[in-house]
Amino acid sequence: MSLTVEEAVGKSFITQLGLKEVNSGVSTGLEWRAGDGEVISSYSPVDNQLIGKVRTATREDYDAVMDKALAAFSTWRMMPAPQRGEIVRQFGDKLRKYKDPLGRLVSYEMGKSLQEGFGEVQEMIDICDFAVGLSRQLYGLTIHSERPLHRMYEQWHPLGVVGIISAFNFPVAVWAWNSALAWVCGDVCVWKPSEKTPLTAIACQNIMAEVLKENNLPEGICCLVIGDYKVGEMLSSDTRVPLVSATGSTRMGKIVAQTVAGRLGRSLLELGGNNAIIVTPNADLKLTIIGALFGAVGTCGQRCTSTRRLIIHDSIYDQVKEKLANAYTQLTIGNPLDPNSHVGPLIDTDAVAMYNNTIAEAKKAGARIIVEGGVLEGEGYESGCYVKPCIIEADEQYDIVKHETFAPILYLLKYSTIDEAVAMQNDVPQGLSSAIMTTNLREAELFLSHKGSDCGIANVNIGTSGAEIGGAFGGEKETGGGRESGSDAWKAYMRRQTNTINYSTELPLAQGIEFNL
């Protein structure tokens, strides 16, 4: 039996998260504009029930929001960074308060398992904690000058308005990765969420609005503009937005990158992934099966870090294939709000069509199906978005293996030497996440060396999926090259300035030039 909206997310959907039957998708943080654009409806892939409607933004709405953001920046940037960190700390505490209803809404609107919905909100909390500490550590360098009685140093200044374009698969966490760091750096944010998951964004905006009101802060620090690709084009082409952080497909990222570069702005891109795990003869097979299983089917294969390829040594190929196929028989596919479900639905029927087309293309190319896919029907599957995770035995030469399909499809590939395996791992256009399963030190170190993985993330004895917020997240090649979250990713949200101070009575000039004045 399908769950109703009230049964799925509880009364908190209305009362705690501040959502309505028809919502405005345009906010300056404290106020909601009526929104003059078209109305979009958010249907849950869980049961195809209408969750709510959203009025989208027009050009006029966008410009009004941008005016508020620019005005807020002049105030926000002058607040000391630790004080900005205090605001982010309060936002993190609000997320702790709303973790249950927000996590349920993420699960219901996007379709990921309830555990993953809660986990996504926890990622938001974690990045807030990280950002609070960072607010006291925006370090510059002191540099020795070649001129006597001179001092050089560098410092970091806020950029201004940061545009954030996020994707449906992590509807709130990736926004938080960007906004929490941008805020402590002194920037203000304008967020364009995926039109497939607008209500989670509105809920987050309502939560942040409580913090802004309680601290008597101006509107414009945290802005929301919901709409289709046209809103993304507005952000990308707007010279008032020095940085656009975009998460999504490689196709979308190339458009954003070209548009932003055309006005000499900055872009931070987190795009496609075609992630592989290399399984060597020295692998711990228990760890291998767990890592590959979660990597391939978690979020129904709709993570940018999802495992798409398993590159297995020929000496253990059949053994790994058998164990993995057996593990797939133990998966429970169903309502993600049921804690017993391992796999929820794909985001919509367009995603289902892509899944079906990919399997058909693989069969046409001659690939062998190890675990059959297909769309589930019957009670509990009425939305038409539930599919069976599929395992396909493929050849590295198949063109389809080089492409990312946002669905639970895993390709098995065979190798003979470790160099061959690394070359196979790198032989795709994308370069986000990678892993090797081995207890052999030499194999592990080779994988992490200059001649090893060419991805932004390289793991040993853990899967490709998931990342801790303490490390910089991002990838190479068609993944975009951006870095978010931990380490020194904060530098993307600031501008570097080199300063020289002369405290002598002389002014030495370059190349020994002198003026006899």
> Are 483 and 489 within 8 A, CB to CB?
yes
Which residue, 436, 472, 450, 474, is CA-closest to 276?
436
DSSP string, 130-173: HHHHHTT-----EE--SSTTEEEEEEEEE-SEEEEE--SSSTTH
Collapsed DSSP state (helix, strand, coil) of residue 188: strand
Q: Is the dihedral of CA 370, 376, 378, 380 positive or negative?
A: positive
Residue 218 DSSP code: P
CA nearest neighbour of 112 among 49, 168, 176, 178: 168
Q: Known catalytic residues?
A: 270, 304
Q: How far apart are CA 454 and CA 489, in angstroms?
A: 19
Cβ count within 10 A of residue 515: 6
Characterize 85-102 residue by residue with b for buried, 16 or more Cβ atoms within 10 angstroms of its Cβ, and e for exposed.
bbbbbbbbebbeebbbbb
Provide the CA 360 distance to its chain's centre, in angstroms: 29
* 313 beta partners: 415
